[in-house]
């Protein structure tokens, strides 16, 4: 019997809501009439287009080069014609942003140069894996979309001893990682071992929340044939999958305060989806042109897990999931805790899009904000050990130095404080504002 | 259609806890004590309770109307204040005492400072302190004997206990509340029932009652018997007087107690110590009111100094050590 | 000339609202809280302050050109102490009962903030007549304040108000609240009156603003 790790500072028990979509196998969503591929869908410099309008492209063909060291390449998800390169509304940046618009021809014709690099990890060198990750445009698929090739090459002075593969998927509703682990356990582990090999790490730990017993079973079975891989089962509690929380729970190490990163305590953390994408790239040569997206919520008729081409409009995916039930109240890109509410569903799937959540009119109500009663529940809930009530109180009054002295910059924006607040105060929102203000002031000082 | 989509910042899921719900839980938790008080001290005490609650709610509504603020009587906080005040009054007080007391609690102690969330002392206790200072005879003499409803001619058991260390009551009598005292303070079982309900429902932090009653019991055991150490009646010390209702319902008031878990423990211990000192060496027979009021005033100080351990603080401590113990 | 007259009037009147010593400047708190247990006490305390204030304001103003700046505070103290001693001796001689009630607070007028405040902030830089008007205004406002606080506290704290031997009403209408005669009662009364004056001033200025916008 595997012991369940419960260690965590704060956190909140959230209703999982996974049952809506966790039983739906991953299906290919299909080819929509138009794909929109933003130059900025990862952390770092925007990509630089290497095609022109009217160019014919094939599936997997590169259409944009990385725009710097911390950047990623873009590939055509299907065959077709480049219709335009023009600004479109970016759902995460919340402004117009340059994008390549691709009109599929429906043939789904693969590019000629797309071929497997290796069939097992013995035939491939660490540098080759890193190069491949860069060429295939692979970024962290957990949501932050940090270029994987950069993560795999930490600074020389950091001694990395452990690699964590994050399959906790603690956001309610989302089941994309769950289905990937269940259906593609072998490929996930192959990708995981590739990540370990590329970064020269010997110890790898798979981390899964205990609310996914079938995925745990599948991974356990696939794991039995490899040495050096361990399984960590964690109690379901939000934000279990925050990388700082994961490092603390599994290894008992605390990542230093910002700008500290997990590699400062000898750990790298990647998402299950990232490992799967890397495995695909090595085994079939297919770059990152599609990802698993959960389309769920009480507001869609048939909650599903789709393998969607990057750039597919959300409206298309929602249609494929049986459309809305009644009038939708809120459409969220990502999960309910950290996702972003959208004003329009005519925006595309990005590399970092793990789910689309549709809430009904009844669920999407704005509750009145009451004065803070100082119950302290946000302090008990904060996984970083902060005092959200004071940070937000200062931020609300524009006292950003005070907010900073209460460690506003440590906030991981998980939203536990806003979730638990009985007065329904938008605590994390105020803290985000404080962080933005402090960051811009620090930049100005430099 | 699409412009009708609601766009609000994350998180898009909120817990079912509301201020109103938490307050309602406190009202529910106080009901056993109110019922016990009515049974023990008769219909009069029910009248006192109703007058107090009505006055509190009415004062809140009238004041908020007068200063053109939204009327917030449906958050139950005024009901709690009225109920709490009534439960700490002697059962035979004239009915105008709770009426004036509740009005004072709501208007002077709570609303003029900005209403719920901004008051710096517990309104019910502030009102109780005001009433003691204003009409001391009513507040210290209007006791009734339980069940017989006859006026009490002698002092309450706590006075004797403080002087001699002898409670003169059986444990059962103390648990059931069969002693003269304030309406809601005597029935320990009813208070315990309500208090545990609040702890189980995660409304209050167990640390405040634990620290309070623990300190008081320990201190009473050590010093409670005049002329001898370690022979005092620890249980009688917490069961007599108002320590139980104070520890579970007064000191745990969100607004006027510390926001951190450790701070709440300190608040409980501090209130316990002050209660002990006032009872054994002070001029008043009971010190719960002043002990909690004092800790209310110290709460901002506690919140200033008691800071939860933040994630990653070990690295900062190490870095400071490495820098030669120099602190910024 | 005209302007001076207008400002004489203003110097008198401003002590009642804008520069009300008790409720808007919050000076002279010691006697305000300590002796206002009855209306009569408040009245006599106020009279003493009026006398001292007028005396000191007039002399500070007269001598303002010859007082060296560096040692003006000691000089003020001498100018204030003189009338205080006069008041003390007169009270002791002609109304010993009241002198016993007011007690230490009569000699303490020497360090009363109102006196110092008016000397430093007004009399030291204004002509004699203006300073006298200022002293009378501030002093009378102070007296009214003390009588108001004292009256409220006496009425709530004893159920009656006494004018010498005459008591009204003969029998208390309600059970008096002893707390009103104690310092907390003083603070509560003071706070409530201060709040009311602030509300009144805020409402008045709001009305003025909306009127001027209309005009």
CATH number of the domain within which B274 lies: 1.10.3430
Q: What residue of A is the nearest CA neighbor of B6?
A: A330
**In this predicted structure, which of A322-331, C23-32, C196-205 has the lowest mean pLDDT?**
C23-32
Q: What structural domains and CATH numbers belong to chain A?
A: 4-22+119-284 (3.40.50.11540), 30-113+296-308+319-360 (no CATH), 377-445 (no CATH)
- Identify which of A72, A136, A64, A70 has the alpha carbon closest to the alpha carbon of residue A98: A64
User: How far is B208 from chain A, CA to nearest CA, in Å?
Assistant: 13
pLDDT for B324: 65
pLDDT for B168: 84
Q: Is residue B6 assigned to a domain?
A: no
Which domain, by its residues, includes B80?
19-305
B308/A386 Cβ within 8 A? yes
Q: How many domains does chain B have?
A: 1
Helix axis angle for A185-199 and A176-183, nearest 10°, is: 100
Mean pLDDT of the region C55-60: 94
Contacts of C195 in chain B (CB under 8 A): 112
Predicted confidence (pLDDT) per residue in A200-236, tens digit: 999 999 999 999 999 999 999 999 888 889 999 999 9
Whether the per-residue pLDDT at C1 is higher than 90: the answer is no
pLDDT for B2: 44
Q: Is residue B151 assigned to a domain?
A: yes
pLDDT for C2: 46
% of chain C exceeding 90 in pLDDT: 53
Structure tokens that stand for B182 in this block: 């304030």
Residue B254, chain C, CB below 8 Å: the answer is no
Predicted confidence (pLDDT) per residue in C75-121, tens digit: 999 999 999 999 999 999 999 999 998 888 899 888 888 898 899 98
Coil, strand or helix: which one is A48? Answer: strand
The ranges of chain A with pLDDT < 50 are none
Rounded distance between C-alpha atoms, residue A318 and residue A344, angstroms: 12
Please report the residues numbered 248 through 287 in chain B whose beta carbons come closer than 8 angstroms to any beta carbon of chain A.
254-255, 257-261, 264
Q: What residue of B is the nearest CA neighbor of C177?
A: B134
Asked if A413 contacts A371 with a C-beta cutoff of 8 angstroms, the reply is no
pLDDT for C5: 55
User: What tens-digit pLDDT sequence spans chain B (328 residues)?
Assistant: 445 799 999 999 999 999 999 999 999 999 999 999 999 999 999 999 999 999 999 999 999 999 889 999 999 999 999 999 999 999 999 999 999 999 999 999 999 999 999 999 999 999 999 999 999 999 988 899 998 888 887 778 888 888 888 888 899 999 999 999 999 999 999 999 999 999 999 999 999 999 999 999 999 999 988 888 998 889 999 999 999 999 999 999 999 999 999 999 999 999 999 999 999 998 888 899 999 999 999 999 999 999 999 999 988 888 888 776 544 4
Q: Is residue B58 assigned to a domain?
A: yes
**Interface size, chain A vs chain B, as Cβ–Cβ contacts under 8 Å:** 163
C175/B133 Cβ within 8 A? no
Rounded distance between C-alpha atoms, residue A232 and residue A164, angstroms: 9
C175/B135 Cβ within 8 A? yes
Q: Is residue B10 assigned to a domain?
A: no
User: How far is C200 from chain B, CA to nearest CA, in Å?
Assistant: 12
E strands in B40-164: none
Rounded distance between C-alpha atoms, residue C118 and residue C130, angstroms: 11
Predicted confidence (pLDDT) per residue in C123-182, tens digit: 999 999 999 999 999 999 999 999 999 999 999 999 988 887 788 888 888 899 999 999
Rounded distance between C-alpha atoms, residue B314 and residue B5, angstroms: 45
Cα–Cα–Cα angle for B61, B66, B68, nearest 5°?
Answer: 90
- ipTM of the complex model: 0.91
Predicted confidence (pLDDT) per residue in A294-329, tens digit: 999 999 999 999 999 999 999 999 999 999 998 999
pLDDT for C4: 56
pLDDT for A336: 96
Structure tokens that stand for B119 in this block: 């008051």
Structure tokens that stand for A61 in this block: 């063909």
- Measure CB to CB from residue A332 to each of B4, B12, B115 and give the nearest one: B12
Task: Classify the C-alpha dihedral B180-B184-B190-B191 as positive or negative.
Answer: negative
């Amino acid at each position: 019997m595997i012991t369940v790790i419960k260690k965590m500072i704060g956190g909140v028990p959230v209703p999982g809501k996974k049952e809506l979509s966790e039983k739906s196998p991953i299906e290919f969503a299909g080819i929509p009439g138009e794909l929109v591929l933003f130059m900025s869908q990862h952390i770092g410099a925007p990509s630089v287009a290497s095609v022109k309008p009217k160019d014919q492209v094939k599936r997997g063909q590169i259409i944009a080069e990385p725009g710097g060291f911390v950047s990623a390449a873009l590939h055509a998800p299907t065959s077709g014609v480049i219709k335009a390169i023009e600004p479109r509304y970016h759902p995460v940046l919340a402004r117009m942003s340059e994008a390549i618009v691709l009109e599929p021809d429906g043939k789904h014709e693969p590019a000629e140069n797309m071929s497997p690099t290796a069939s097992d990890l013995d035939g491939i060198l660490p540098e080759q894996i890193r190069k491949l990750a860069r060429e295939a445009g692979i970024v962290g698929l957990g949501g932050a979309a940090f270029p994987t090739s950069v993560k795999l090459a930490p600074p020389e002075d950091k001694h990395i001893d452990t690699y964590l593969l994050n399959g906790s998927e603690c956001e309610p509703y989302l089941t994309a990682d769950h289905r990937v682990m269940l259906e593609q356990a072998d490929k996930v582990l192959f990708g995981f071992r590739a990540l370990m090999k590329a970064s020269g790490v010997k110890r790898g730990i798979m981390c899964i929340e205990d609310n996914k017993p079938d995925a745990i079973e599948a991974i356990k079975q696939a794991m039995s044939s490899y040495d050096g891989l361990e399984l960590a089962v964690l109690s379901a509690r939000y934000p279990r999958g925050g990388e700082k929380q994961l490092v603390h729970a599994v290894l008992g190490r605390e990542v230093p305060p910002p700008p500290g990163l997990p590699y400062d305590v000898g750990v790298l953390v990647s998402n299950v989806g990232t490992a799967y994408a890397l495995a695909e790239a090595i085994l079939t040569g297919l770059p990152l042109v599609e990802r698993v997206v959960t389309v769920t919520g009480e507001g869609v008729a048939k909650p599903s897990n789709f393998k969607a081409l990057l750039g597919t409009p959300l409206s298309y995916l929602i249609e494929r999931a049986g459309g809305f039930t009644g009038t939708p109240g809120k459409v969220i890109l990502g999960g309910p805790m950290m996702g972003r509410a959208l004003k329009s569903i005519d925006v595309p799937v990005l590399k970092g899009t793990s789910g689309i959540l549709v809430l009904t009119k009844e669920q999407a109500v704005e509750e009145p904000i009451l004065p803070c009663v100082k119950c302290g529940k946000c302090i008990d809930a904060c996984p970083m050990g902060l005092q959200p009530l004071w940070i937000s109180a200062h931020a609300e009054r524009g006292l950003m130095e005070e907010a900073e002295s209460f460690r506003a910059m440590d906030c991981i924006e998980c939203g536990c404080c806003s979730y638990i607040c009985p007065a329904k105060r938008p605590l994390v929102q105020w803290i985000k504002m404080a962080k933005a203000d402090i960051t811009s002031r620090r930049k100005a000082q430099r | 259609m699409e412009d009708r989509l609601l766009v609000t910042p994350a998180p898009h899921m909120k817990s079912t806890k509301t201020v109103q719900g938490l307050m309602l839980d406190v009202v529910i938790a106080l009901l056993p004590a109110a019922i016990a008080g009515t049974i023990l001290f008769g219909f009069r005490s029910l009248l006192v309770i109703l007058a107090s609650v009505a006055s509190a709610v009415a004062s809140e509504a009238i004041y908020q109307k007068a200063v053109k603020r939204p009327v917030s009587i449906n958050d139950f906080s005024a009901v709690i204040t009225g109920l709490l005040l009534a439960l700490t009054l002697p059962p035979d007080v004239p009915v105008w005492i709770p009426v004036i007391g509740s009005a004072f609690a709501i208007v002077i102690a709570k609303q003029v400072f900005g209403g719920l969330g901004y008051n710096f002392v517990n309104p019910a206790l502030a009102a109780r302190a005001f009433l003691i200072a204003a009409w001391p005879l009513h507040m210290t003499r209007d006791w009734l004997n339980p069940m017989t409803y006859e006026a009490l001619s002698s002092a309450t058991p706590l006075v004797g206990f403080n002087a001699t260390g002898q409670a003169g009551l059986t444990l059962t009598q103390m648990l059931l509340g069969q002693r003269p005292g304030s309406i809601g303070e005597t029935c320990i079982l009813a208070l315990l029932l309500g208090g545990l309900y609040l702890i189980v429902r995660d409304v209050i932090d167990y640390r405040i009652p634990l620290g309070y009653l623990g300190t008081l019991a320990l201190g009473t055991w050590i010093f409670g018997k005049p002329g001898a150490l370690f022979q005092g009646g620890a249980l009688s010390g917490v069961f007599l007087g108002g320590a139980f209702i104070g520890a579970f319902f007064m000191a745990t008031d969100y607004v006027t107690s510390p926001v951190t878990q450790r701070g709440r423990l300190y608040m409980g211990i501090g209130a316990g110590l002050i209660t002990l000192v006032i009872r054994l060496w002070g001029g008043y027979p009971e010190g719960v009111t002043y002990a909690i009021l004092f800790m209310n005033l110290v709460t901002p100080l506690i919140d200033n100094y008691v800071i939860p351990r933040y994630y990653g603080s070990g690295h900062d401590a190490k870095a400071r050590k490495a820098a030669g113990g120099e602190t910024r | 000339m005209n302007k001076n007259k207008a400002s004489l009037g203003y110097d008198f009147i401003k002590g009642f609202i804008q520069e009300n010593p008790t409720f808007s400047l919050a000076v002279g708190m010691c006697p305000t809280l300590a002796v206002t247990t009855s209306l009569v006490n408040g009245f006599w305390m106020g009279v003493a302050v009026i006398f001292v204030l007028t005396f000191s304001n007039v002399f500070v103003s007269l001598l303002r050109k010859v007082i060296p700046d560096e040692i003006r505070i000691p000089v003020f103290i001498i100018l204030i102490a003189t009338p205080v001693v006069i008041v003390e001796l007169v009270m002791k001689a002609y109304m010993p009962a009241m002198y016993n009630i007011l007690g230490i607070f009569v000699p303490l007028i020497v360090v009363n903030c109102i006196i110092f405040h008016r000397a430093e902030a007004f009399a030291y830089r204004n002509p004699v007549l203006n300073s006298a008007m200022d002293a009378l205004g501030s002093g009378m406002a102070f007296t009214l304040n003390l009588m108001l606080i004292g009256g409220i506290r006496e009425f709530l704290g004893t159920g009656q108000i006494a004018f010498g031997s005459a008591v009204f009403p003969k029998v208390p209408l309600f059970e008096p609240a002893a707390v009103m005669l104690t310092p907390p009662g003083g603070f509560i009364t003071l706070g409530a009156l201060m709040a009311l004056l602030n509300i009144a001033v805020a409402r008045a200025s709001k009305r003025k603003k909306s009127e001027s916008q209309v005009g």
